[in-house]
Structure 1
Amino acid sequence: MKFIRSFIILLFLGAVSSVIGQDNKENFSVDFETFNLENGLKVILHQDKSDPVVAVALTAHVGSAREKESRTGFAHLFEHLLFLESENLGKGGLDKLSARIGGSGANGSTSRDRTNYFQTVPKDALEKMIWAEADKLGFFINTVTEPVLAKEKQVVKNEKRQAVDNRPYGHTFYVVDRNLYPQGHPYNWQVIGSLEDLQNATLQDVKDFYNKWYVPNNVILTISGDFNKEQAKEWVHKYFDEIERGSDIAELEKQPVNLTESKRLYHEDNFAKLPELTLTWPSVYSYHEDSFALEILSNYLAEGKNAPLYKKLVEEKQLTSNVSMFNYTSELAGQLMLQVRAYDGKDLDSVKIAIDETFAEFEKNGIPQKDLKRIKAGLETDFYNSISSVLGKGFQLAQYEIFAKDPNFINKEIDKMLAVTGEDVMNLFKKYVANKNYVATSFVPKDQLDLALENSEKAEVIEEKIVEGAEEKFDANQEVTYEKTPSSFDRSIEPPYQGKPELSIPEIWDARMPSGMKIMGITNTEVPVVQFSLEMKGGQLLERPAKAGVSNMLANMMTKGTAKKTPAELEEAIELLGASIYVNASEEKITISGNTLAKNFAETMELVREILLEPRWDEKEFELVKQRTLSRLKEEKGDPNAIAQNEFKKLIYGENSILSYNELGTAETVENLNIEDLKNYYEENLSPLAATFMTVGAIEKAEAVNSVKAISANWAPKNIDFPEVPEFELPERSKVYFYDVPGAKQSVFAFGAPALSAKDNNFYPAEVMNYRLGGGGFASRLTQELREGKGYTYGIRSRFADQSYIGPFMISSGVRSNITYEAAELVRDILKEYPETFSQDDLDVTKSYMIKSNARRFETLGAKLDMLREISDYGYEYDYIKDREQKVEEMSVMDIQDLAKKYINPERMFYLIVGDAETQLDKLEALGYGKPVLLNENSEN
């Protein structure tokens, strides 16, 4: 459950016809219907019968801005509480229900101004979801008891440690908002709240908050997908009508801020390895008339090679590898933010000088029309991508109602963006940025204060101390009684399924080109967009240790211009089509992927051809890519999660395997790479004989094949000698490994061992076995015991890595530092007991989820592309989902137990922990696996 992510949501009565782009001939229409219950609940219905699924979202107009100082974090706390239990769903609430009905997993998010709860389910479960959402709104608060509140406080505090306290630059927004918004302003504090406020929250505080804000007249219910509209209305009335209306809720006035002077602050960041400068100017609230031009302004100044800030800071001054700028708007106010993470040792004063120089030049030159055009072109594709799922459509069905106060704003927003002129952009630059006061934050590594902006003051940042036994005790299993809220009917009876959704497997077409390149595709016309992926086997597997990182650097170089186009010209050509093209390297492949409007597919493929077959080999860009890679490697040394991932690979694959290396390489190998190394890799290892082109979206087979003929015809086939990957073996006995990050607020776990390949017949059965262990989110034992039972963590999961060679089984989590040993011991014990304690009930829940969830498996374009990818990578049959359903149906409790014993052995496993050695290392010897091995003896990260 995320607290920062915000979604675009819209309400409209009747039909909406949205035509994006002046020359777009396609009319894209979305039909809505909305009605209000007498108690004030607003209901939005949108039918989409393209897949047998339905998304249900409950959006409450309450976020952190409706809280009080010293009682912060309540809105986000409720996002957690509302999943746990309600009077009629009982213990486990929505999470337990989701596992049984094959849902996407009940989830939610909190922003400054709203909280939402959402899930996509097979269409036969719609009545169950409406029943459950009504229980959340009208039959919930009595279930919140002292033990429930105490436990969930710990979960939220762990989330704050994970998202803020235990990561580089995690306190940036805290410092910015406290200095941008005056005391008393509702955006002065963070959405997640403070650890102290959370701890001090009383049960009565919580109940008062709920009773004020969680009332029908402050909530929107959205239903989007394949359902019968009249039947849905009946169910909504049945389950929501008798929930009482709350007191009238007054609208909050807009509260834009004005800085009377600029503020400069610094913070020595325990985890940061590079200096970062953030500049923040007061801007405007969501959907303000100026917000559209400000979005274009930030995009032009910072995004891509044509951006003035990129040209100045990255190319000319070589201060950083990336600049980001964005207009962060909320209901009451907004802030325009510019962030630069500089290279190692770079003085942030030099960054600020370069920014000022760029602004001065922009004020003289303005924004060229061609740049204005390419920025607008991307908006069309972004819009279609945002509504490619029923959940995306559902999200977009409430924000306009809540924040724009105009149900027809879906027709106006893009028009307003397209109407922005170059003069508008310049006027707003002068109005909000040029010579205006700002908040500047310098986050610098420990003992590098000289890198902060001159005349900066020390920022107030509250750092949690690691204290043993400091947390409040609670009994999550304590039985409590409460008086149930009366109802006109028995709400404890769960509604039945309505029908049975049929598994809809997309029809796959394929072709083989003369060069040997294989083509696979799925035609889907829901939205006029196409996603594509050209996947070439190789990647890291074809590297030599001395050249580690060469495939990653090659992938980065491939979008840095072509023989015919400079880097800036290539980027402009892509953006003018409203397209995106990415090149990435992984352990087993190099991939050219992206998406584009269907009408521009052929032109986009011509650019893909240039990128692949006519590389530029630009020496200047090579040096920039090298510096960027070295900077990322430096950055990762301060990130506990990246450290855990990199050290775990070394344990799993051993020092002799190229797979044990960071995919970026090492500082030494990257430093020694030259452009000839990239050319050699390119010439030797990219071949159509080892390539598959996949496309999904609004395009027919013939057009797709024709569009890539030029790639095939000009790509000479060559045989590639793929190395044989050894069968990695389990350790003889378990061992604990520790990587010291002094002062870490959490310990990051990476436990596991080599397991099996995705090509192995047991791979999917092993995934089925893992569902109740740690793969099923809130349905899993690891989550239930470590998060729900103990409050040790915000999240924990286990999974089998899908590779064509033997990949690991891995458990990953971040736990609060002062219970590192207890959490590790509990994980070990769960693994030991799992084979013997897996029951028929566990199997029933697993089967229900695995089979029912297939109804929503291929809903989005991305999901369809993933299906093609699995078929291509692992040789699965086109209808492999049917075979999997059959396997699940036939599995027994004994089958699960045998698989658990075979692939999950806690006595032959690597236990890797990244955390604070001073306080946690010694205790881990009690796990019984000998003295822990300290991986960085000198404590240098």
Structure 2
Amino acid sequence: MLKRTLAVFALALLASASSFGQAKLVEKVTRQGDELVIPFEKYKLSNGLTLIVHEDHSDPVVHVDVTYHVGSAREEIGKSGFAHFFEHMMFQGSDHVADEEHFKIVTESGGTLNGSTNRDRTNYFETVPTNQLETALWLEADRMGFLLDAVTQKKFEIQRATVKNERGQNYDNRPYGLVREYVARALYPYGHPYSWLTIGYLEDLDRSDVNDLKNFFLRWYGPNNATLTVGGDVEPKQVVTLAEKYFGSIPAGPEVEAVTLPAPVLEKDRYVSYEDNVRFPLLQIVFPTVPRHHPDEPALDCLADILGGGKNSLFYKNLEKPQKALQANASHPTSELGGELDLTVISFPGVPLSSAEAIVRESLKEFEQRGPTEEDVQRFVAQAEARLINGLASVRGKVSQLAAYQTFQDDPNYIADELKAYTAVTTADVMRVYNQYVKGKHAVILSVVPKGDTASIAQADNYTVSEKGYQAPDYGYDGLTYNKAKDSFDRAMRPKPGPNPLVKVPDIWNAKLRNDIKVIGTENNEIPTVTIAITIPGGHYLSASDPGKAGIAALTADMMNEGSEKYTAEAFASELEKLGSSVSVNAGDEAMTVYIQSLKKNLQPTLALAAERMFHPRFDADDFARLKKQQIEAIAFQNNQPEVIASKVYDRLLFGERSIRSIPAIGTTETVENITLDDVKAFYNQYFSAANSYAVVVGDLTESEAKPAMAFLESWAAKPVPAVTFSETPAIDKTRIYLVDKEQAPQSQIRMGYLALPYDATGEYYKATLMNYPLGGAFNSRINLNLREDKGWTYGARSYFSGSELQGPFTASAGVRADATDSSVVEFMKEIKDYHTNGITPEELAFMKSSIGQRDALDYETPYQKAGFLGRIIKYNLDKDYVKEQAKILQSITKAEIDALAKKHLQPEKMNILVVGDKQNVKAGLEKLGYEVVELDMEGNRIESSMTNEPIQIEKSATPTKQKKSRKRAAEKSGK
């Protein structure tokens, strides 16, 4: 357990001496020794806004988070989805920030941004270079205090359409996407704010109007219901001064009181079910438990881990390992007003869920009889400690924790209490919460079955929602008024950033082991962890010599993740969990990679386990049979998903049916059926070689500590590995549309592109990515502004180059509303053709240079980012200063060069356009576009083609766009 010795100053005495203007210092926490703590200062402004500042000068980066204590739990019956809808509207401009400018300004500043909504809170956040702190605060304050006059009916309608697309993409049309909705409706009483999802119901969005939305903002989005958290390379005094300037004059909103509700009481087990477009039946049993940070939460988390948390869980032993289920797990998600113990089983096709329910209930009885063990708790505690520490790897992670603790606990310093609560869990606690919340208690039992397979449900539905006894509360919407801040400065003046921060590329050390393995590393002592990635070139593409066994690399990696000669799979997992470490083998297209994550104090035993996993795999026959079956079932599952179908067929069009690159890394049913355990052993013995392998080390290790630690790799034999050869790729003689029928699909997946370039860091590929940035590489790109922001047809659209050492494609892609499929193809092509013909605008060129030129500050912050940077250097044999050369190219590149790149590398006349959608609804519209339409099956085999007589003129689309005007307005607003 980490020792908690904190310097906490509750400042009755110091407040007056340490205040800046309106802001009163409430608390200051510093680190004393090596305890787990996030240092901060907490202030309160006179309008009720809470300000938290975390000072961390390790990287020239600032993260700004504004968390409003409002989520879907503040909504009312018939008006669900408002909190999430408002998250979208908050990006649509305010009095002093033009339409679509929020994303543009932050991106142009080299930053990233987003927002998120859950049951209990909504947050908006930016990570920006240090010199853009004032700009971020200006933007957040403007939408807090000056939003409503900029909310128009037109914006409302476009974002309503976007939210509908999001619901369709992430819920209605995603396998098992409605599980939480069905559970929530059955678990919580009618009118309970958790009885609907954050996304809300479409019918509620349809019946709402812009005034409903404005009232929601006025009720819940005042500064007194918000926490502003700023962390990173800042001085607290400067942050407080700027917060006072931009937020201090915003009037407080109505008072917001805390809500507490009793846990649901279930009079009997509630069975509910629905049919879905899935292959595998799913069973979920849900018991109501306790809210977030309740004293019983850690013990319930531990109970979930014992029941279904990994290879040592009861569900794994009783369901997964004997192949009675594809997957089985348990979790304990909690929210502000309640929690749920979720027991989930994904069964095999044709297996009734009643049998899965019986095994779950038998497993609960088994737990009751054997009880939790000390080792169970030890594993759980170690993982909890590692999770909390790893969550602090970035300034965003630290700021997010501070904001959440303040919002829900009124205590930013809660991390020490949380660690103490988890490390104090005992076996008696776990048994007690089982008896209190599970034993003899009723649950919601949800069955999700393939369409037409109602016979597989666990039990007939016996529950319907009742409105009996419901009385709507007073949400306080009467008499709301919109009061704007009165300032002594001009808010319309966008703050001028300071000079760009000096970005320091990580100091790098290099070494070569005795077997010629190259090692590259950098020290990062912000948190006491170590991240190691060992890359073995080859991967899936090694199957090119025997494509009839494609998928063998993935199956070999899965087998290596089981047991070793010394440990069974369960014992191996137990040893890692007791250390809070992970060692995993992954197979990609071009390489296999061993990922190692450890707390520094546990590195040596973790590396000993890594050596076991890498060099002494068990290759057990029972494990092989189970994993092979799971891989075949995963292929069958993926083959029913439009996104996967689109990716697979698109690759086949690009690379040709004979190429290993056209076969997914997971393989096909036929190829995986061909693989034997002896094949896996032979693949491992032949290709898992030190030859050309390399390692990346990032973490709390000096060079002198890291080099000896990596010596465990020196006994690894460097067996020669043959080079992979690829078949010739098919040429594209003209642009065609390829259509794959996905019956009744409410959305269409669009992929369009062609083979372009291999990766290079400072040559044509890099310059092509610069060229693409305004077209489809940023949120404010032409493609996304058109299809998402102007039309509301998609949740997101983009274009990108994706080369590696091999020639890779240029791709434009989106999932679009089915009835806008042909129009979306028109707009995609219109944007690509216009950019190909007319090139970049001066405003776009300046935006691209500013955005990419300043984002280096964000590129090397976390261990994961540092490892990726070092991995590129060693993989492509780059000079460590290649980023300086990129910066020179970026700043010197001209409009003429970009225009020439667009003409050269955008090929609108020779593209594959793939549409996966409902043929009955989309084919006729596609045939009117003037391209040959070729029908393919879901494997990419040709069915038939058709050609219209008179091609239409794509440039003169019947679907007008306001995009160019909106871009012009945005440029004018920002002074361009």
Scaled to the shorter chain, the TM-score interval is: over 0.9
Q: Give the corresponding residue for 1:296.
A: 302
1:138 aligned partner, one-letter code: G
2:206 aligned with 1:199, yes or no?
yes
Matched, 1:48 2:50: no
Q: Give 1:358's aligned residue.
A: 363
Partner of 2:229: 222
State whether residues 158 and 792 of structure 2, in contact with CA within 8 Å, keep that contact through their aligned partners in structure 1.
yes
Aligned to 2:920: 918
Query: Is residue 2:137 matched to residue 1:130?
Result: yes
Residue of structure 1 aligned with 2:71, choices 63, 67, 74? 63
How far does residue 13 in structure 1 lie from its aligned partner after superposition? 2.9
- The residue aligned with 1:662 is 664
Aligned runs of 1:899-938 on 2, under 5 Å?
899-936=901-938
Superposed CA deviations along residues 896-924 of structure 1, whole A, max 9, x for unmatched, are 12222222212211111122111112221
**Aligned counterparts of 1:504 and 1:726: Cα–Cα separation in 2:** 43
1:528 aligns with 2:534: no
Indicate conservation of the 8 Å contact 1:804/1:873, yes or no. Answer: no
Aligned counterpart, 1:801: 802
Alignment-derived partner of residue 259 in structure 2:
252
Structure 2 gaps of 5+ residues are 1-24, 466-481, 944-976
Summarize the Cα distance change of 1:690–1:344 in structure 2 as closer, same or farther, 3 Å threshold. Answer: farther
The answer to whether the 8 A contact 1:17-1:411 is kept is: no
Letter in 1 for 2:534: L
How far the C-alpha of 1:274 sits from its partner, in A, is 1.1
1:708: Cα distance to partner? 2.2
Of 572, 576, 579 in structure 2, the residue corresponding to residue 577 of structure 1 is 579
- Listed as ranges, the matches of 1:515-664 within 5 Å are 515-543=515-543, 544-664=546-666
Shift of 1:483: 12
Counterpart position of 1:313: 319
Query: Given that residues 175 and 459 in structure 1 are in contact (C-alpha distance below 8 angstroms), is that contact kept between their aligned partners in structure 2?
Result: no
The equivalent residue for 2:972 is none
Q: Match of 1:619, as an amino acid?
A: A
CA distance in 2: counterparts of 1:324 and 1:907, whole angstroms:
50
Of 211, 215, 226, the match for 1:208: 215
Do the aligned partners of residues 302 and 394 (structure 1) sit closer, same or farther apart at CA in structure 2, a change above 3 Å counting?
A: same
Kindly indicate whether residue 347 of structure 2 is the aligned counterpart of residue 342 of structure 1.
Answer: yes
Cα distance in 1 for partners of 2:649, 2:435 equals 49
Deviation, structure 1 residue 457: 5.5
1:447-486 alignment, distance < 5 Å = 447-456=452-461, 486=486
* Secondary structure of 1:335's aligned partner: strand
What are the Cα deviations for residues 124-180 of structure 1, in whole angstroms up to 9, with x where unaligned? Answer: 000111111110100111100111101110011111001001111111111110110
Q: Could you say what secondary structure the match of 2:714 adopts?
A: helix
Matched, 1:828 2:818: no
- Flag the 1:527–1:730 CA change in 2: closer, same or farther, 3 A: farther
Residues 815, 823 of structure 1: 8 Å contact kept: yes
Report the AA paired with residue 509 of structure 1.
W
Deviation at 1:892, TM superposition (A): 0.9
Q: Aligned pair 1:500/2:508, yes or no?
A: no
Offset of 1:181 from its aligned partner? 0.6
User: C-alpha separation between the residues in 2 aligned to 1:408 and 1:29?
Assistant: 7
1:729 deviation in Å?
5.5
Given that 2:500 and 2:854 are in contact with CA atoms closer than 8 Å, whether structure 1 keeps it comes out as no
Q: Letter of the 2:492 partner, please give it.
A: S
Which moves more between the two structures, 655-664 or 906-915? 906-915
Question: Do the aligned partners of 1:86 and 1:93 also contact (CA within 8 Å) in 2?
Answer: no
The AA in structure 1 aligned to 2:78 is S
Shift of 1:17: 4.9
Aligned mates of 1:818, 1:339 — CA distance in 2? 36
Shift of the alpha carbon at 1:895? Answer: 1.4
Give a deviation string over 1:722-750, Cα, whole Å, max 9, x none. Answer: 12345645511111112222121211112
What's the secondary structure of 1:13's corresponding residue?
strand
- Counterpart for residue 475 of structure 2: none
SS of 2:365's equivalent? helix
1:326-382 deviation line (CA, Å, top 9, x unaligned): 111111111111111112222111111111111111100011211210111111221
Residue 18 of structure 1: CA displacement? 9.1
1:418-433 matched pairs, under 5 angstroms: 418-433=423-438
CA distance in structure 2 between the partners assigned to 1:938 and 1:784 by the alignment: 31
Distance in 2, matches of 1:936 and 1:223, equals 49
Q: For residues 662 and 870 of structure 1, do their structure 2 counterparts lie closer, same or farther at Cα, with a shift above 3 Å needed?
A: same
**Deviation per residue, 1:205-242 (Å, 9 max, x gap):** 11111111110100000000001221111111111111
Once the two structures are superposed, what CA deviation does each residue of 1:6-56 show, in whole Å capped at 9, x if it has no partner? xxxxx993225599xxxxxx4344211010110000000000100001000
- Percent identity of paired positions between Structure 1 and Structure 2: 36
In structure 1, which of residues 2, 10, 13 is the aligned counterpart of residue 27 of structure 2? 13
Report 1:352-391 matches (<5 A): 352-391=357-396
TM-superposition CA deviations, 1:768-796 (whole Å, max 9, x none): 111111111x2211111111110111111
Note the C-alpha offset of 1:487: 3.3
Residues 510, 519 of structure 1: 8 Å contact kept: yes
Matching residue's letter, 1:611: R
RCO (CA 8 Å, sep 6+): is it higher in 1 or 2?
A: 1
Deviations 1:99-144 (A, max 9, x none): 221112x200000010000010000000111111110100111100
Matched letter for residue 272 of structure 1: V
Q: In the TM superposition, what is the alpha-carbon distance from 1:299 to its structure 2 partner?
A: 1.1
Could you say if the C-alpha distance between residues 221 and 677 of structure 1 is closer, same or farther in structure 2, counting changes exceeding 3 Å? same
Paired residue total: 899
- 1:163 aligns to 2:177 (yes or no): no
Q: Aligned partners of 2:766, 2:903: CA distance in 1, in Å?
A: 16
SS in structure 1 opposite 2:720?
coil
* Match of residue 242 from structure 1: 249
List structure 1 segments (4+ residues) > 6 angstroms apart after TM superposition.
Answer: 482-485, 937-941
Contact 1:128–1:497 under 8 Å retained in 2 = yes
Q: Partner of 1:273 in structure 2?
A: 279
How far residue 310 of structure 1 moved from its aligned partner, in angstroms, is 0.4
Structure 1 residue identity aligned to 2:434: F
743-752 or 614-623: bigger deviation: 743-752
Q: State the AA in 1 paired with 2:576.
A: I
In structure 2, how many angstroms separate the alpha carbons of the residues matched to 1:824 and 1:676? 48
**Distance (whole Å) between structure 2 residues aligned to residue 100 and residue 645 of structure 1:** 31
CA contact (8 A) 1:344 1:631 kept: no
Instruction: Tell me, in whole angstroms, the C-alpha distance in 2 between the residues paired with 1:611 and 1:937.
Output: 36
Which residue identity lines up with residue 28 of structure 2 in the other structure?
Answer: G
- How far does the alpha carbon of each residue in 1:255-301 deviate from its partner, in whole angstroms, 9 at most, with x for none? 321111111122110x2111111111111111111111011111111
Shift in Å at residue 592 of structure 1? 0.6
The farther-off stretch of 405-414 and 737-746 is 405-414
Name the structure 2 match of 1:147. 154
Does the 8 A contact of 1:254 with 1:331 survive in 2? no
Question: Displacement of 1:614 after TM fit?
Answer: 0.8
**Residue 80 of structure 1 pairs with residue 82 of structure 2:** no
Q: Using a 3 Å threshold, how does the CA distance of structure 1 residues 938 and 567 change in structure 2: closer, same or farther?
A: closer
Deviation at 1:407, TM superposition (A): 4.2
Q: CA RMSD in A?
A: 2.0
1:189 is paired with a residue of what secondary structure? coil
1:510 and 2:510 aligned: yes
Amino acid at match of 2:433: L
**Aligned with 1:583: secondary structure?**
strand
Residue 499 of structure 1: CA displacement?
3.0
TM-score (normalizing by structure 1): 0.93
For 2:216, what is the secondary structure of its paired residue?
helix
Aligned to 1:6: none
SS in 2 for 1:811: strand
Instruction: Report the alpha carbon displacement of residue 812 of structure 1 after superposing the two structures with TM.
Output: 2.0
Separation in structure 2 between the aligned mates of residue 494 and residue 814 of structure 1, nearest angstrom: 35
- Find the residue that maps to 2:170 and give its secondary structure: helix
Alignment of 1:654-803 (within 5 A): 654-713=656-715, 715-725=716-726, 728=729, 730-759=731-760, 761-776=763-778, 778-803=779-804
Q: Is 1:35 matched with 2:40?
A: no
Letter in 2 for 1:839: T
Q: What TM-score do you get using the length of structure 2 for normalisation? A: 0.90
